[in-house]
Amino acid sequence: MAEQEAVSVQSSEGEIAIEASDLTKVYPPSSKAVDHVTFSVFRGEIFGLLGPNGAGKTTTIKMITTMTRPTSGELTVFGMDVRSNAERVRSLLGYVPQSVSVDTDISAYENLLIFSKLFFVGRKDRKARIKEALEYMGLEERANDLVKHYSGGMMRRLEIAQTLVNRPKILFLDEPSIGLDPNSRRDVWRSVLQLRKQYNTTIFITTHDMSEADALCDRLAIMDQGRIAAMGTPEDLKKSVGGDLLTLVVPTDSDIPGIPPEIGSLSYREGNTMEIVSENGDAAVPKLVALLSKQGITIESVSVRKPGLDDAFMKYTKKKLAEDLVATDARAARRSFTRHAG
Amino acid sequence: MNVWKFFSSSLTVAEMEARRVRHDPTELFTRAIQPALWLLIFGEVFTSIRAVNTGPYTYLQFITPGVLAQSVLFIAIFYGITVVWERDVGLLTKLLSTPSPASAIVLGKSLAAGVRGAFQALMIFILAVLIGVNLRLAPLDVLGVFLVVVLNAMCFSSLSMLLAAILKTRDRMMGIGQAITMPLFFGSNAIYPTSLMPTWLQGIAAFNPLSYIVNALRALLLSGDYSQLPVDLVITLAYTAVFLAAASIMIRRLLE
């Protein structure tokens, strides 16, 4: 993939935390959830996989966290092969799945106690680690409440606290802010950034949310249909769109002329709306207006904006990352959470 | 992975269940309703009409161990649904993402079913004493009953987890649970001696682990004759070990 090489940034400094090469997962009979994916994540970095539901993001996390075995390809965590060192690899990780992963029928303290035992935290360290994790995520005051009385944002913070008792080297967050209100979302982001700052924790997130990817990630990979379409820093990905974006709306029955290269190139068209990529948007507007009026085409509106990650996403996948591509069941589950009576 | 760490993980998973029960014990009482009906209605009626020849024991005495085994079977056989539910939210994924091995988690889950089974045994002891069923209540026998009940729960809950790993959805688990509990129950010696069954059914009952569990419970609660107890326990243990091993290998399939 030439495009991928064009935008990938080689931050050569630092130790490699995760290295995947030609990583593939095939679910029988032949659905390729992850298709020859190659990437490296450096220690202390916040790395994101950005893509719609079904792109293969969660499957990638599951392979790294040894929840499911790769069909082929290489995958190492701090130099250890995940297949032959599954338990050692897991002892270095923390994983916060997309849906509710705390036991809502017991208290927050009890959740952390159980998980500190399952992470083999020594008896004498347990209390201090639990206290620290609760304070860190701002939950110490309600530590003895049953988790079912928590709000969605508090549950999310508890889920992160649950992994912190292990002092993970790498933290995996699968759609960290899905279903959260804007305030809780910012709280979660703040904690994530602080974790990296304070402990130099490597953080691997998946998200379908452009603003989340932009706010958190040092580098990200745009993933679609099991493949990485592009990889780089959010800035580089936005720049790689190639300039400013002009959105032009004309009456439905107009004949649209070709766009000359000195204005820009047509990137997208739907009905009477067109998007043109131009090196210098502000200078291109008068040229475009002149061109169209010469041909007798009226303009309903024209606007210029700087490209965002969604534009980069569209450039590499030829798709819009629309809300309807994203499953809503997880957030529904988080909002109306009740335990099955079984 | 050393042995101590392995069992400590299993006990931790069981501890999680015990803590759930402590926070909300309602289910312990609602679960006791069905066996109470078996004893109070079915047991009393069949005792008075003397329809089944149960040797030296009254019919009510005879079915008390059977009803205990059956009620624990009912709890355990639907335990896989809880595991599927924990998969549907993210809890199972999180448990399996700890360094504790999957087999330790599965063993822990079966012990957790054992915790619920033990409470069930306690309820039935209380009930039996209240309605005046004559049982052997020597401390060692009572302790033995609790151990057999925990084994009973482990056996069928690990079978249930194995089925859950294959079937993967709650609806299918409800269906299979309904479909196998009745044959297991009626194809055992829980409410009538196997000698009253047609020969073909006796052949099937000989493979039914529930029959061996009921035998062990009858030896402890009624006869005090322990000569067959080792055989009953070894066979039940063997079934449990096979189900646990298979469920441990298969459990990650639930995440796919």
Element of type H or E holding A342: none
Residue A10 pLDDT: 44
Chain B contact probe: residue of A118, A159, A331, A338 with most B CBs at under 10 A: A118
Average pLDDT value over all residues in chain A: 87
Q: Which residues of B touch A114 (CB under 8 A)?
A: 12-13, 15-16, 19
**Cβ partners under 8 Å of residue A122, min gap 6:** none
Q: Which residues in A lie closer than 8 A to residue B99 (C-beta atoms)?
A: 87-88, 90-91, 118-120
When pLDDT is averaged across residues A81-105 and rounded to a whole number, the result is 94
Nearest alpha carbon to residue A61 among A205, A178, A207: A205
Task: Please state, rounded to an integer, the average pLDDT across all residues of chain B.
Answer: 93
Residue A299's Cβ-count burial label (10 Å; 0-12, 13-18, 19+) is: middle
Per-residue pLDDT of chain B (256 residues; tens, 9 = 90+): 689 999 999 999 999 999 999 999 998 899 999 999 999 999 888 888 888 888 889 999 999 999 999 999 999 999 999 999 999 988 999 999 999 999 999 999 999 999 999 999 999 989 998 999 999 999 999 999 999 999 999 999 999 999 999 999 999 999 999 899 999 999 999 999 988 899 999 988 899 999 999 999 999 999 999 999 999 999 999 999 999 999 999 999 998 8
d(CA A208, CA A55): 10
Helix or strand or coil: residue A56?
coil
Cβ atoms of B59 and B43 within 8 Å: the answer is yes
A105/B20 CB distance under 8 A: yes
Give pLDDT tens digits for A97-133: 988 899 999 999 999 999 999 999 999 999 999 999 9
Q: Residue A275 and residue A280: Cα distance in Å, rounded?
A: 14
- Given a cut of 80, is residue A13 above it in pLDDT? no
Among candidates A91, A106, A117 on the partner chain, residue whose Cβ is nearest the Cβ of B12: A117
Which chain B residues touch A if contact means CB-CB below 8 Å?
Answer: 1, 5, 8-9, 12-13, 15-16, 19-20, 23-24, 27, 78, 81-82, 85, 88-91, 93-101, 170, 252, 255-256
- pLDDT of A342 > 60? The answer is no
Give me the interface pTM, i.e. the ipTM. Answer: 0.91
pLDDT for res A267: 78
Residue A102 with chain B: CB contacts under 8 Å: 91, 94
What string of H, E and C letters represents the secondary structure of A81-94? ECCCCHHHHHHCEE
- Select the residue of A88, A101, A341 nearest B90 (Cβ to Cβ): A101
- In this structure, what token pair is assigned to residue A222? 């745009």
Which of B24, B82, B252 lies nearest to residue A67, judging by beta carbons?
Answer: B252
> A191-195: which pairs have CB atoms within 8 A and are 24 or more residues apart?
A191/A136, A191/A137, A191/A157, A191/A160, A192/A46, A192/A160, A192/A216, A193/A46, A195/A164, A195/A171
Q: Is the separation of the CB atoms in B80 and B109 below 8 Å?
A: no
